[in-house]
Protein backbone atom coordinates (compact mmCIF):
# COMPACT_ATOMS: atom_id res chain seq x y z
CA UNK A 1 0.00 0.00 0.00
CA UNK A 2 1.35 3.41 -0.92
CA UNK A 3 2.42 5.57 1.99
CA UNK A 4 0.63 8.51 0.32
CA UNK A 5 -2.75 6.81 0.40
CA UNK A 6 -5.39 8.84 2.22
CA UNK A 7 -6.47 7.31 5.52
CA UNK A 8 -10.04 6.01 5.37
CA UNK A 9 -11.27 3.73 8.17
CA UNK A 10 -14.65 2.22 8.85
CA UNK A 11 -16.63 1.02 11.83
CA UNK A 12 -18.94 -1.70 10.57
CA UNK A 13 -21.20 -3.11 13.31
CA UNK A 14 -24.08 -5.54 12.82
CA UNK A 15 -27.48 -4.44 14.20
CA UNK A 16 -27.99 -7.61 16.22
CA UNK A 17 -28.52 -5.99 19.64
CA UNK A 18 -26.96 -3.32 21.85
CA UNK A 19 -23.42 -2.21 21.06
CA UNK A 20 -20.96 -3.84 23.49
CA UNK A 21 -18.26 -1.58 24.94
CA UNK A 22 -15.72 -3.69 23.03
CA UNK A 23 -17.43 -2.48 19.86
CA UNK A 24 -17.36 1.10 21.14
CA UNK A 25 -13.60 0.75 21.71
CA UNK A 26 -13.17 -0.50 18.13
CA UNK A 27 -15.09 2.55 16.89
CA UNK A 28 -13.01 4.81 19.14
CA UNK A 29 -9.66 3.46 17.95
CA UNK A 30 -10.78 3.86 14.32
CA UNK A 31 -11.88 7.42 15.07
CA UNK A 32 -8.65 8.35 16.88
CA UNK A 33 -6.57 6.87 14.06
CA UNK A 34 -8.56 8.74 11.39
CA UNK A 35 -8.33 12.06 13.22
CA UNK A 36 -4.64 11.57 14.01
CA UNK A 37 -3.88 11.15 10.30
CA UNK A 38 -6.36 13.68 8.91
CA UNK A 39 -8.47 10.87 7.50
CA UNK A 40 -12.13 9.88 7.17
CA UNK A 41 -14.29 7.89 9.61
CA UNK A 42 -16.97 5.79 7.89
CA UNK A 43 -19.96 4.09 9.54
CA UNK A 44 -21.25 1.07 7.64
CA UNK A 45 -24.06 -1.13 8.94
CA UNK A 46 -23.47 -4.81 8.12
CA UNK A 47 -27.03 -6.13 8.21
CA UNK A 48 -26.81 -9.05 5.77
CA UNK A 49 -27.70 -11.56 8.49
CA UNK A 50 -31.46 -11.03 8.36
CA UNK A 51 -32.15 -13.79 10.91
CA UNK A 52 -30.19 -11.97 13.63
CA UNK A 53 -31.45 -8.45 12.83
CA UNK A 54 -32.91 -6.67 15.89
CA UNK A 55 -35.26 -3.68 15.46
CA UNK A 56 -33.89 -0.55 17.14
CA UNK A 57 -30.27 -1.80 17.17
CA UNK A 58 -29.12 0.53 14.38
CA UNK A 59 -30.63 3.55 16.15
CA UNK A 60 -28.92 2.41 19.35
CA UNK A 61 -25.54 2.29 17.56
CA UNK A 62 -25.99 5.82 16.17
CA UNK A 63 -27.07 7.24 19.53
CA UNK A 64 -24.20 5.51 21.34
CA UNK A 65 -21.57 6.94 19.00
CA UNK A 66 -23.11 10.40 19.31
CA UNK A 67 -23.12 10.21 23.14
CA UNK A 68 -19.47 9.11 23.10
CA UNK A 69 -18.41 12.01 20.90
CA UNK A 70 -17.30 9.73 18.05
CA UNK A 71 -18.06 11.79 14.95
CA UNK A 72 -18.93 10.07 11.66
CA UNK A 73 -17.67 11.75 8.48
CA UNK A 74 -19.35 9.45 6.00
CA UNK A 75 -21.89 6.64 6.18
CA UNK A 76 -25.21 5.80 7.77
CA UNK A 77 -26.89 8.90 9.16
CA UNK A 78 -24.52 11.19 7.25
CA UNK A 79 -24.40 10.03 3.63
CA UNK A 80 -21.43 10.31 1.31
CA UNK A 81 -20.05 9.44 -2.12
CA UNK A 82 -20.20 5.66 -1.61
CA UNK A 83 -23.85 5.39 -0.51
CA UNK A 84 -25.75 3.35 0.39
CA UNK A 85 -23.92 2.38 3.58
CA UNK A 86 -26.28 -0.38 4.76
CA UNK A 87 -25.28 -3.69 3.23
CA UNK A 88 -28.91 -4.77 2.88
CA UNK A 89 -29.36 -1.80 0.50
CA UNK A 90 -26.27 -2.88 -1.46
CA UNK A 91 -27.40 -6.48 -2.03
CA UNK A 92 -27.51 -6.13 -5.83
CA UNK A 93 -23.79 -5.38 -5.88
CA UNK A 94 -22.42 -8.61 -4.43
CA UNK A 95 -23.64 -11.36 -6.81
CA UNK A 96 -21.63 -9.84 -9.67
CA UNK A 97 -18.44 -10.13 -7.63
CA UNK A 98 -19.25 -13.66 -6.47
CA UNK A 99 -19.78 -14.76 -10.10
CA UNK A 100 -16.55 -13.02 -11.09
CA UNK A 101 -14.69 -15.29 -8.67
CA UNK A 102 -16.38 -18.38 -10.14
CA UNK A 103 -15.43 -17.33 -13.66
CA UNK A 104 -11.80 -16.73 -12.68
CA UNK A 105 -11.54 -20.13 -10.96
CA UNK A 106 -11.35 -18.75 -7.39
CA UNK A 107 -14.83 -19.95 -6.37
CA UNK A 108 -17.45 -22.54 -7.30
CA UNK A 109 -21.14 -23.33 -7.00
CA UNK A 110 -22.11 -25.94 -4.38
CA UNK A 111 -25.57 -27.54 -4.37
CA UNK A 112 -25.32 -29.61 -1.16
CA UNK A 113 -28.52 -29.46 0.88
CA UNK A 114 -28.45 -28.82 4.62
CA UNK A 115 -29.48 -32.45 5.16
CA UNK A 116 -26.62 -33.76 3.00
CA UNK A 117 -24.08 -31.63 4.84
CA UNK A 118 -25.45 -32.76 8.20
CA UNK A 119 -25.16 -36.42 7.16
CA UNK A 120 -21.59 -35.80 5.98
CA UNK A 121 -20.63 -34.25 9.33
CA UNK A 122 -22.05 -37.24 11.18
CA UNK A 123 -20.04 -39.64 9.00
CA UNK A 124 -16.84 -37.80 9.91
CA UNK A 125 -17.77 -37.72 13.61
CA UNK A 126 -18.46 -41.46 13.55
CA UNK A 127 -14.90 -41.98 12.26
CA UNK A 128 -13.54 -39.62 14.91
CA UNK A 129 -12.53 -37.04 12.28
CA UNK A 130 -13.18 -33.29 12.02
CA UNK A 131 -15.31 -32.32 9.05
CA UNK A 132 -14.05 -29.55 6.78
CA UNK A 133 -15.49 -28.59 3.42
CA UNK A 134 -12.22 -28.15 1.50
CA UNK A 135 -9.93 -29.47 -1.24
CA UNK A 136 -10.37 -33.04 0.01
CA UNK A 137 -14.09 -33.27 -0.78
CA UNK A 138 -15.13 -30.40 -3.06
CA UNK A 139 -14.73 -32.43 -6.26
CA UNK A 140 -16.69 -35.35 -4.81
CA UNK A 141 -19.69 -33.23 -3.84
CA UNK A 142 -22.43 -31.76 -6.08
CA UNK A 143 -20.41 -28.68 -7.09
CA UNK A 144 -19.52 -26.91 -10.33
CA UNK A 145 -16.10 -28.59 -9.95
CA UNK A 146 -17.63 -32.08 -10.31
CA UNK A 147 -20.75 -31.40 -12.43
CA UNK A 148 -20.85 -30.44 -16.11
CA UNK A 149 -21.55 -26.84 -17.09
CA UNK A 150 -24.89 -27.98 -18.50
CA UNK A 151 -25.88 -29.71 -15.23
CA UNK A 152 -24.89 -26.63 -13.21
CA UNK A 153 -26.94 -24.36 -15.50
CA UNK A 154 -29.91 -26.75 -15.35
CA UNK A 155 -29.87 -26.88 -11.55
CA UNK A 156 -29.74 -23.10 -11.27
CA UNK A 157 -32.51 -22.71 -13.89
CA UNK A 158 -34.89 -25.06 -12.09
CA UNK A 159 -34.46 -23.17 -8.82
CA UNK A 160 -32.22 -25.52 -6.84
CA UNK A 161 -30.67 -23.69 -3.90
CA UNK A 162 -26.94 -23.10 -4.15
CA UNK A 163 -24.08 -21.30 -2.50
CA UNK A 164 -20.86 -19.96 -3.92
CA UNK A 165 -17.81 -21.16 -1.98
CA UNK A 166 -14.27 -19.82 -2.10
CA UNK A 167 -11.84 -22.31 -3.64
CA UNK A 168 -9.11 -22.31 -1.02
CA UNK A 169 -5.72 -23.23 -2.53
CA UNK A 170 -4.15 -26.47 -1.31
CA UNK A 171 -0.94 -26.44 0.76
CA UNK A 172 0.04 -22.82 0.18
CA UNK A 173 1.55 -20.48 2.78
CA UNK A 174 -0.33 -17.20 3.10
CA UNK A 175 1.95 -14.48 4.44
CA UNK A 176 0.20 -11.62 6.24
CA UNK A 177 1.21 -8.50 8.14
CA UNK A 178 -0.79 -7.06 11.00
CA UNK A 179 -0.02 -3.61 12.43
CA UNK A 180 -0.44 -4.94 15.97
CA UNK A 181 0.43 -8.65 15.70
CA UNK A 182 3.28 -8.41 13.23
CA UNK A 183 4.03 -11.05 10.57
CA UNK A 184 1.68 -14.07 10.45
CA UNK A 185 1.84 -17.17 8.24
CA UNK A 186 -0.90 -19.76 7.70
CA UNK A 187 -1.01 -22.89 5.54
CA UNK A 188 -4.15 -22.93 3.39
CA UNK A 189 -4.60 -26.68 3.92
CA UNK A 190 -5.77 -25.86 7.45
CA UNK A 191 -8.59 -23.69 6.08
CA UNK A 192 -11.99 -24.58 4.64
CA UNK A 193 -13.87 -23.29 1.61
CA UNK A 194 -15.98 -20.53 3.12
CA UNK A 195 -19.42 -19.71 1.73
CA UNK A 196 -19.38 -16.30 0.03
CA UNK A 197 -22.94 -16.05 -1.29
CA UNK A 198 -26.25 -17.83 -0.65
CA UNK A 199 -29.05 -18.08 -3.21
CA UNK A 200 -31.59 -18.81 -0.46
CA UNK A 201 -31.71 -15.18 0.69
CA UNK A 202 -29.81 -13.60 -2.23
CA UNK A 203 -27.29 -12.16 0.21
CA UNK A 204 -23.52 -12.43 0.61
CA UNK A 205 -21.82 -13.65 3.76
CA UNK A 206 -19.69 -11.32 5.85
CA UNK A 207 -16.48 -12.28 4.05
CA UNK A 208 -17.54 -11.29 0.52
CA UNK A 209 -19.55 -8.19 1.47
CA UNK A 210 -16.78 -6.98 3.75
CA UNK A 211 -14.03 -7.21 1.14
CA UNK A 212 -16.12 -5.77 -1.70
CA UNK A 213 -17.38 -2.84 0.39
CA UNK A 214 -13.95 -2.03 1.82
CA UNK A 215 -12.60 -1.92 -1.73
CA UNK A 216 -15.47 0.16 -3.17
CA UNK A 217 -15.36 2.55 -0.20
CA UNK A 218 -11.57 2.91 -0.61
CA UNK A 219 -10.83 1.81 2.97
CA UNK A 220 -7.11 2.15 3.73
CA UNK A 221 -6.95 0.52 7.18
CA UNK A 222 -9.14 -2.18 8.74
CA UNK A 223 -9.01 -1.87 12.53
CA UNK A 224 -11.19 -4.55 14.12
CA UNK A 225 -11.43 -7.07 16.96
CA UNK A 226 -9.11 -10.06 17.22
CA UNK A 227 -12.04 -12.43 16.70
CA UNK A 228 -11.60 -11.68 12.97
CA UNK A 229 -7.94 -12.74 12.93
CA UNK A 230 -8.75 -16.32 11.77
CA UNK A 231 -10.52 -14.79 8.74
CA UNK A 232 -7.46 -12.79 7.68
CA UNK A 233 -5.97 -15.47 5.36
CA UNK A 234 -9.26 -15.70 3.44
CA UNK A 235 -9.47 -11.90 3.19
CA UNK A 236 -5.88 -11.68 1.91
CA UNK A 237 -6.67 -14.33 -0.71
CA UNK A 238 -9.89 -12.57 -1.74
CA UNK A 239 -7.91 -9.41 -2.46
CA UNK A 240 -5.55 -11.51 -4.57
CA UNK A 241 -8.42 -13.28 -6.33
CA UNK A 242 -10.01 -9.98 -7.31
CA UNK A 243 -6.68 -8.53 -8.43
CA UNK A 244 -6.85 -5.82 -5.76
CA UNK A 245 -3.62 -6.61 -3.90
CA UNK A 246 -2.16 -3.15 -4.55
CA UNK A 247 -5.26 -1.54 -3.03
CA UNK A 248 -5.54 -3.93 -0.08
CA UNK A 249 -5.98 -2.12 3.25
CA UNK A 250 -3.57 -2.60 6.12
CA UNK A 251 -4.99 -4.68 8.96
CA UNK A 252 -4.87 -4.21 12.73
CA UNK A 253 -6.57 -6.68 15.08
CA UNK A 254 -7.36 -5.30 18.52
CA UNK A 255 -7.04 -7.33 21.76
CA UNK A 256 -10.13 -8.58 23.58
CA UNK A 257 -11.71 -6.83 26.54
CA UNK A 258 -11.47 -9.40 29.32
CA UNK A 259 -13.59 -10.12 32.39
CA UNK A 260 -12.49 -8.44 35.65
CA UNK A 261 -11.19 -11.85 36.71
CA UNK A 262 -9.06 -11.92 33.56
CA UNK A 263 -10.36 -15.18 32.09
CA UNK A 264 -12.33 -14.82 28.89
CA UNK A 265 -14.19 -12.12 27.00
CA UNK A 266 -16.19 -9.54 28.97
CA UNK A 267 -19.91 -10.32 28.75
CA UNK A 268 -23.25 -8.95 29.88
CA UNK A 269 -23.42 -11.80 32.39
CA UNK A 270 -20.22 -10.52 34.05
CA UNK A 271 -21.76 -7.07 34.37
CA UNK A 272 -25.03 -8.42 35.76
CA UNK A 273 -23.19 -10.56 38.29
CA UNK A 274 -20.72 -7.89 39.43
CA UNK A 275 -22.95 -4.83 39.14
CA UNK A 276 -21.60 -2.79 36.23
CA UNK A 277 -22.78 -2.08 32.65
CA UNK A 278 -21.15 -3.51 29.52
CA UNK A 279 -23.10 -1.29 27.11
CA UNK A 280 -22.83 2.49 26.61
CA UNK A 281 -26.59 3.16 26.90
CA UNK A 282 -29.58 1.46 28.53
CA UNK A 283 -31.14 -1.16 26.25
CA UNK A 284 -34.49 -2.90 26.24
CA UNK A 285 -34.99 -5.79 23.85
CA UNK A 286 -38.06 -5.22 21.66
CA UNK A 287 -38.52 -8.99 21.38
CA UNK A 288 -38.06 -10.24 24.95
CA UNK A 289 -38.30 -7.06 27.05
CA UNK A 290 -34.93 -7.96 28.60
CA UNK A 291 -33.02 -4.89 29.74
CA UNK A 292 -29.34 -4.03 30.04
CA UNK A 293 -27.74 -1.21 31.99
CA UNK A 294 -25.87 1.58 30.27
CA UNK A 295 -22.98 3.83 31.32
CA UNK A 296 -24.98 6.95 30.48
CA UNK A 297 -27.91 6.00 32.70
CA UNK A 298 -25.60 4.70 35.45
CA UNK A 299 -24.23 8.22 35.88
CA UNK A 300 -21.04 8.30 33.81
CA UNK A 301 -19.82 11.27 31.81
CA UNK A 302 -19.18 10.33 28.15
CA UNK A 303 -15.68 11.83 28.26
CA UNK A 304 -14.80 9.74 31.36
CA UNK A 305 -16.20 6.60 29.71
CA UNK A 306 -14.16 7.26 26.56
CA UNK A 307 -11.00 8.04 28.56
CA UNK A 308 -11.35 4.77 30.48
CA UNK A 309 -12.05 2.77 27.32
CA UNK A 310 -9.11 4.24 25.38
CA UNK A 311 -6.66 2.95 27.99
CA UNK A 312 -8.05 -0.60 27.84
CA UNK A 313 -5.61 -1.95 25.28
CA UNK A 314 -3.64 1.19 24.43
CA UNK A 315 -0.74 2.63 26.43
CA UNK A 316 0.37 6.24 25.87
CA UNK A 317 3.87 5.39 27.07
CA UNK A 318 3.67 7.92 29.93
CA UNK A 319 2.15 8.08 33.40
CA UNK A 320 -0.70 10.31 32.15
CA UNK A 321 -4.15 8.81 32.73
CA UNK A 322 -6.58 11.67 32.06
CA UNK A 323 -6.97 12.64 28.42
CA UNK A 324 -9.36 14.88 26.54
CA UNK A 325 -10.53 13.53 23.19
CA UNK A 326 -8.09 15.87 21.44
CA UNK A 327 -5.23 14.62 23.63
CA UNK A 328 -6.18 11.04 22.77
CA UNK A 329 -6.12 11.95 19.07
CA UNK A 330 -2.73 13.65 19.42
CA UNK A 331 -1.18 10.70 21.27
CA UNK A 332 -2.85 7.65 19.70
CA UNK A 333 -0.88 5.14 17.65
CA UNK A 334 -1.53 1.51 16.73
CA UNK A 335 2.10 0.72 17.66
CA UNK A 336 1.17 1.21 21.32
CA UNK A 337 -1.89 -1.07 21.20
CA UNK A 338 -1.30 -4.26 23.17
CA UNK A 339 -1.38 -7.75 21.65
CA UNK A 340 -2.76 -9.28 24.85
CA UNK A 341 -6.28 -8.86 26.22
CA UNK A 342 -7.14 -5.91 28.47
CA UNK A 343 -8.80 -6.71 31.81
CA UNK A 344 -11.80 -4.53 32.59
CA UNK A 345 -11.76 -3.00 36.09
CA UNK A 346 -15.15 -1.69 37.31
CA UNK A 347 -13.59 0.30 40.18
CA UNK A 348 -11.17 1.98 37.78
CA UNK A 349 -14.10 3.00 35.58
CA UNK A 350 -15.68 4.73 38.60
CA UNK A 351 -12.34 6.32 39.46
CA UNK A 352 -12.13 7.88 36.01
CA UNK A 353 -15.65 9.26 36.35
CA UNK A 354 -14.86 10.70 39.78
CA UNK A 355 -11.85 12.55 38.34
CA UNK A 356 -14.06 14.18 35.74
CA UNK A 357 -16.75 14.91 38.35
CA UNK A 358 -14.26 16.75 40.57
CA UNK A 359 -13.13 18.92 37.65
CA UNK A 360 -16.62 20.02 36.57
CA UNK A 361 -17.77 23.59 37.10
CA UNK A 362 -21.06 24.23 38.89
CA UNK A 363 -22.62 25.18 35.54
CA UNK A 364 -21.54 21.86 33.97
CA UNK A 365 -22.85 19.93 36.98
CA UNK A 366 -26.18 21.77 36.82
CA UNK A 367 -26.67 20.40 33.31
CA UNK A 368 -26.51 16.78 34.48
CA UNK A 369 -28.14 17.34 37.87
CA UNK A 370 -31.24 19.24 36.75
CA UNK A 371 -32.91 16.18 35.14
CA UNK A 372 -32.29 14.20 38.35
CA UNK A 373 -33.80 16.96 40.49
CA UNK A 374 -36.86 17.15 38.24
CA UNK A 375 -37.34 13.39 38.62
CA UNK A 376 -37.66 14.06 42.36
CA UNK A 377 -40.10 16.91 41.83
CA UNK A 378 -37.55 19.66 42.58
CA UNK A 379 -37.70 22.80 40.44
CA UNK A 380 -34.79 25.17 41.06
CA UNK A 381 -32.56 27.44 38.99
CA UNK A 382 -29.43 26.11 37.29
CA UNK A 383 -27.39 28.20 39.72
CA UNK A 384 -28.96 26.49 42.75
CA UNK A 385 -28.67 23.00 41.20
CA UNK A 386 -25.02 23.59 40.26
CA UNK A 387 -24.15 24.96 43.68
CA UNK A 388 -25.62 21.91 45.47
CA UNK A 389 -23.74 19.51 43.20
CA UNK A 390 -20.57 21.60 43.41
CA UNK A 391 -20.51 21.47 47.23
CA UNK A 392 -20.62 17.65 47.19
CA UNK A 393 -18.82 16.77 43.94
CA UNK A 394 -15.62 15.71 45.74
CA UNK A 395 -17.59 12.91 47.44
CA UNK A 396 -19.39 11.73 44.29
CA UNK A 397 -18.20 9.17 41.75
CA UNK A 398 -21.28 9.06 39.51
CA UNK A 399 -23.92 11.65 38.70
CA UNK A 400 -26.43 9.19 40.17
CA UNK A 401 -24.71 9.70 43.55
CA UNK A 402 -25.64 13.39 43.64
CA UNK A 403 -29.22 13.02 44.87
CA UNK A 404 -28.26 10.89 47.87
CA UNK A 405 -25.47 13.32 48.68
CA UNK A 406 -27.52 16.52 48.40
CA UNK A 407 -31.22 15.66 48.81
CA UNK A 408 -31.34 17.38 52.25
CA UNK A 409 -30.50 20.69 50.55
CA UNK A 410 -33.94 20.55 48.97
CA UNK A 411 -36.05 18.41 51.33
CA UNK A 412 -36.05 19.01 55.08
CA UNK A 413 -35.67 15.91 57.25
CA UNK A 414 -38.75 14.62 59.04
CA UNK A 415 -37.08 11.43 60.23
CA UNK A 416 -33.73 11.21 61.93
CA UNK A 417 -30.94 8.65 61.79
CA UNK A 418 -31.25 6.46 64.88
CA UNK A 419 -27.54 6.30 65.68
CA UNK A 420 -27.13 10.10 65.46
CA UNK A 421 -30.28 10.64 67.52
CA UNK A 422 -29.14 8.36 70.36
CA UNK A 423 -25.72 10.01 70.38
CA UNK A 424 -26.62 13.69 70.19
CA UNK A 425 -30.32 14.24 71.00
CA UNK A 426 -29.92 13.94 74.75
CA UNK A 427 -28.69 15.76 77.87
CA UNK A 428 -28.03 19.48 77.41
CA UNK A 429 -27.97 19.32 73.62
CA UNK A 430 -31.65 20.21 72.96
CA UNK A 431 -31.28 23.27 75.22
CA UNK A 432 -28.01 24.24 73.53
CA UNK A 433 -29.68 23.91 70.09
CA UNK A 434 -32.53 26.19 71.26
CA UNK A 435 -29.92 28.70 72.39
CA UNK A 436 -28.07 28.38 69.05
CA UNK A 437 -31.34 29.08 67.29
CA UNK A 438 -31.46 32.48 68.96
CA UNK A 439 -27.90 33.21 67.84
CA UNK A 440 -28.68 32.24 64.24
CA UNK A 441 -31.90 34.27 64.20
CA UNK A 442 -29.88 37.38 65.00
CA UNK A 443 -27.49 36.98 62.05
CA UNK A 444 -28.36 39.18 59.05
CA UNK A 445 -25.45 38.21 56.77
CA UNK A 446 -25.98 34.44 56.54
CA UNK A 447 -22.90 33.82 54.39
CA UNK A 448 -20.81 30.80 55.26
CA UNK A 449 -17.87 32.86 56.56
CA UNK A 450 -19.90 35.29 58.68
CA UNK A 451 -22.11 32.61 60.25
CA UNK A 452 -19.07 30.51 61.10
CA UNK A 453 -17.30 33.48 62.74
CA UNK A 454 -20.31 34.41 64.94
CA UNK A 455 -21.24 30.85 65.95
CA UNK A 456 -17.65 29.87 66.77
CA UNK A 457 -17.25 32.97 68.96
CA UNK A 458 -20.48 32.08 70.79
CA UNK A 459 -19.37 28.43 71.31
CA UNK A 460 -16.03 29.62 72.67
CA UNK A 461 -17.69 32.16 74.94
CA UNK A 462 -20.07 29.52 76.32
CA UNK A 463 -17.42 26.85 76.65
CA UNK A 464 -19.47 24.31 74.67
CA UNK A 465 -17.85 21.46 72.78
CA UNK A 466 -17.55 22.20 69.04
CA UNK A 467 -18.50 18.64 68.01
CA UNK A 468 -21.40 18.62 70.49
CA UNK A 469 -22.95 21.75 68.95
CA UNK A 470 -22.18 21.02 65.29
CA UNK A 471 -23.43 17.42 65.35
CA UNK A 472 -26.66 18.44 67.06
CA UNK A 473 -27.15 21.13 64.41
CA UNK A 474 -26.36 18.54 61.70
CA UNK A 475 -29.11 16.29 63.10
CA UNK A 476 -31.59 19.16 62.76
CA UNK A 477 -30.59 20.27 59.27
CA UNK A 478 -29.57 16.98 57.59
CA UNK A 479 -31.24 14.31 59.74
CA UNK A 480 -28.14 12.11 59.62
CA UNK A 481 -24.41 12.10 60.27
CA UNK A 482 -23.45 12.98 56.72
CA UNK A 483 -23.03 15.99 54.49
CA UNK A 484 -20.53 18.83 54.06
CA UNK A 485 -19.51 21.43 56.63
CA UNK A 486 -22.55 22.82 58.44
CA UNK A 487 -21.96 26.37 57.22
CA UNK A 488 -22.18 25.15 53.61
CA UNK A 489 -25.64 23.83 54.53
CA UNK A 490 -26.80 26.94 56.42
CA UNK A 491 -25.68 29.25 53.62
CA UNK A 492 -27.36 27.08 50.98
CA UNK A 493 -30.76 26.69 52.68
CA UNK A 494 -30.76 30.20 54.20
CA UNK A 495 -31.70 31.58 57.61
CA UNK A 496 -35.47 31.00 57.51
CA UNK A 497 -35.18 27.36 56.45
CA UNK A 498 -32.38 26.77 59.00
CA UNK A 499 -34.60 28.09 61.81
CA UNK A 500 -37.62 26.13 60.55
CA UNK A 501 -35.66 22.83 60.58
CA UNK A 502 -34.36 23.51 64.10
CA UNK A 503 -37.92 24.23 65.26
CA UNK A 504 -39.20 21.02 63.69
CA UNK A 505 -36.63 18.93 65.55
CA UNK A 506 -37.29 20.71 68.85
CA UNK A 507 -41.07 20.30 68.47
CA UNK A 508 -41.24 16.75 67.14
CA UNK A 509 -38.43 14.59 68.52
CA UNK A 510 -38.36 13.60 72.15
CA UNK A 511 -34.79 13.61 73.55
CA UNK A 512 -33.24 10.29 74.54
CA UNK A 513 -33.30 9.48 78.25
Q: With b meaning 16 or more CB within 10 Å and e meaning fewer, what string describes 434-452?
A: eebbeebeebeebeeeebb
Strands of the sheet with 163-166, listed across from one edge: 107-110, 163-166, 195-198, 203-204
In angstroms, what is the C-alpha Rg of the chain? 32
Give the C-alpha distances (Å, rounded to integers) separating 287 from 20, 56, 233.
18, 11, 37
- Other Cβ atoms less than 10 A from the Cβ of 496: the count is 10
Distance between CA atoms of 109 and 143, rounded to whole angstroms? Answer: 5
Where residue 381 falls (left for φ over 0; alpha for ψ -120 to 50; beta otherwise) is beta
In eight-state DSSP terms, residue 294 is B
Distance between CA atoms of 143 and 146, rounded to whole angstroms? Answer: 5
Q: Are 60 and 14 in contact (CB under 8 A)?
A: no
Residues noted as catalytic: 268
Q: Are 318 and 62 in contact (CB under 8 A)?
A: no
Amino acid sequence: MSQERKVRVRFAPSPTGPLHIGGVRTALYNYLFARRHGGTMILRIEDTDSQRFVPGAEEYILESLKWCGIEIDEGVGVGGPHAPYRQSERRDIYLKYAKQLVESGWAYYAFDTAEELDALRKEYEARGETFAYNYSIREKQPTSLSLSKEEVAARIARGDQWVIRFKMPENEIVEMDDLIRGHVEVNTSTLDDKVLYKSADALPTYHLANIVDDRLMEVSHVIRGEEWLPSLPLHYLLYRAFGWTDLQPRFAHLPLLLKPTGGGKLSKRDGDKMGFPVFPLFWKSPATGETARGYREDGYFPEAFINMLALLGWNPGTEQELFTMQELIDNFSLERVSKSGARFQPDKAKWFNAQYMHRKTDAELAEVYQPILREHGIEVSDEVAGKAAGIMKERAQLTTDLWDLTSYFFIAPTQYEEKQTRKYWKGDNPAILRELRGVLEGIDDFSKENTERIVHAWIEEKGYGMGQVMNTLRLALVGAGKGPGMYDVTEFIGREETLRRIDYLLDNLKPAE
